[in-house]
Structure formats: C-alpha cells, structure tokens
A = this chain, B = another copy of it.
Amino acid sequence: MVKFNRVAIVGVGLIGGSLALSARQKGIFNHIVGIGRTPENLRKAKNLNVVDEFTLNLEEGVKDAELVVIATPVSDIIPIIKKSLPALKKGAIITDVGSVKNEIMIETDKLSLPGVFFVGSHPIAGTENSGVEAAFSDLFLKRKCILTPSKKTDPSALEKIKNLWISVGSEVFFMDSQPHDQILGAVSHLPHMIAFALVNYLHEINHEKESIFKFSGGGLKDFTRIAASHPIMWKDIALMNKGNLVNLMEGFQKTLEELKELINRGDGDELVRKFEESRRIRRGLIS
C-alpha cells in the first residue's frame, strides 16, 4: 500500500480537506500540514482534525513533505509549484486536483524539477458546497479520478498517485491533458456556465414583488444546483479552459438556436424527435 509520512495540503477546502480525512482514515497519510493564505479556515481544519498543524508560510509548510497536494483554484497551481520547488526535499511528489489540466501539464513540463516529481490529478468529485466544513471522507468513494501524465511524468510517482486515489475509493483513468480539457469542458464546465447564466437571467427578469422562483418545481432546483458552486474556483476554470469553453458555448448556442427555430415555426414532429433523443441519451447516462 502507498504511504506518505508527511503530507502538505495547500488549500484545505472541500477537496483538500476530504482527501486529508479519507487518506488519514485509511492510514495513507500520517502527519498532515495545512497551508493557506488566511488562518480562519485552517484553524477550523485543525479543530476538525482534518490537519495536524497549519501554516501560512508555503515554503515552511512543504519543507519536509513527501507529498504536496495543491487543492487551490487552478490559477494558483503553477505559482504555488514554482514557489515550493526550492523548499522541497529530494524525492517529494507534487500533485494537484485541478479541473483544467493542459496548461498545468505544459507549464510543469517546462520546469526543471531536480529530484522532485509532478503528477496531474483530477478527481471528478465535489458538491456545490465549499470550505473545510463541507469536507467528508467518502467524497471520492466510487468516483472517477483522471490522471493526465505527460511524457515527462515519472512512472514511479505516477504509480504512487494512482494508488493514492484508488486507496480513497476512486476509479483511476489516464488521459492526455488536451482531450481531458475538451471532455471535461463539455460535460462539466459548459453545464456550469449554462447554470450560472440561467440563474443570472431569471434573477434579471424577476421584477415582480413576489419572486418567480417561488413557483419553480424540483426541476429548476436540481437544474441550478451547480449554479451555487464556488465563484473563484469557477472563474479560474472558465479562464484556464477558455479555448475549449468558448467553442463549446458557441456550439451549444447553435443547438439552442435551432431548438428555438423549431418552436418558432411550430415543427412539432422534429421537436418530439429532439426530445426523444434527449430522453434516450439522458436515461443512458452513467451516474
């Protein structure tokens, strides 16, 4: 079994905190150092026994770590890696949990990491809640985790990170970072943008004294759950996966425009065909 004696977690929120809880429970992490920018959340993490100690000083926190997990918004990952490097001990492994991978892999491949290894991870897990209070040890159970090794990724470090995710209950897949960003752009980032836009739009047209949301059924609630996701995390994802996301949004806009045209010209037969296709696909969705 994979084991890390001293682990530094940068960003002890929903994902970082849940990994700490789960990996400690399974005996994979022994001593956990939480690292962040402000003490409030880290103090909570300590009180909840998610971390053993914490520091606001990155270099200090990662110094003796065998494993550094970066669980911050994606735009912080590369700066944190660069800042950590001089402080890391030989043989240390860095991994992240970012939802966008291509830029991370390109940038880390450019760095010279003398005796230190980077492995890109993306656990497909999360809720619309954030912060360490939202963390729970079963978050990764039966979820998928995608690793995006490049040609430069060290096979032994990759194997260890793979085993870490398997140990917390995830099913691990390997994928190049470019198709990763396209696929996750489609099945995750695009739906989030649509949900944000829908809630913003409904709010915009809600001029009545009585909220129109009052008359929404369970459909809207489910549909917009992801619109409560973490704003800064999602700003980062949107901007870091901009190329794919803008293309996907344009493609979706075209499909929505076609649907609007079908409604506008009253083409009931074609509407039924579209809705039947949608029902069939949706019912076949893997959960």
| Residues of A in contact with B (beta carbons under 8 Å apart) | 124-128, 143-144, 146, 173, 183-184, 186-188, 190-205, 211-232, 234-236, 238-239, 242, 245-246, 248-253, 255-257, 259-260, 263-264, 266, 268, 271-272, 274-279, 281-287
**Do A285 and B197 touch (CB < 8 A)?**
no
A231: chain B residues at CB < 8 Å are: 271-272, 275-276, 278-279
A193: chain B residues at CB < 8 Å are: 256, 259-260, 263
**Do B223 and A143 touch (CB < 8 A)?**
no
**Do A146 and B215 touch (CB < 8 A)?**
yes
A253: chain B residues at CB < 8 Å are: 253, 256-257, 260
In the assembled complex, how far is the CB of residue A49 from the closest CB belonging to chain B, in whole angstroms? 27
**Do A212 and B200 touch (CB < 8 A)?**
no
Copies of this chain per assembly: 2
Are A235 and B275 CB-contacts (below 8 A) given A263-B246, A285-B213? yes
In the assembled complex, how far is the CB of residue A269 from the closest CB belonging to chain B, in whole angstroms? 9
Residue of B nearest to A190 (CB): B198
A-B CB contact pairs (8 Å), 26 listed: A143-B217, A146-B215, A184-B215, A187-B213, A188-B216, A191-B224, A193-B260, A195-B278, A196-B278, A204-B251, A205-B248, A213-B281, A213-B285, A219-B225, A219-B226, A227-B279, A231-B275, A234-B275, A235-B268, A235-B272, A236-B268, A238-B263, A239-B263, A245-B263, A246-B260, A246-B264
**Do B282 and A199 touch (CB < 8 A)?**
yes
In the assembled complex, how far is the CB of residue A75 from the closest CB belonging to chain B, in whole angstroms? 8
Q: Could you tell me the distance between the alpha carbons of A128 and B188 in the complex, rounded to whole angstroms?
A: 21
In the assembled complex, how far is the CB of residue A79 from the closest CB belonging to chain B, in whole angstroms? 15
In the assembled complex, how far is the CB of residue A209 from the closest CB belonging to chain B, in whole angstroms? 12
Q: Could you tell me the distance between the alpha carbons of A226 and B218 in the complex, rounded to whole angstroms?
A: 9
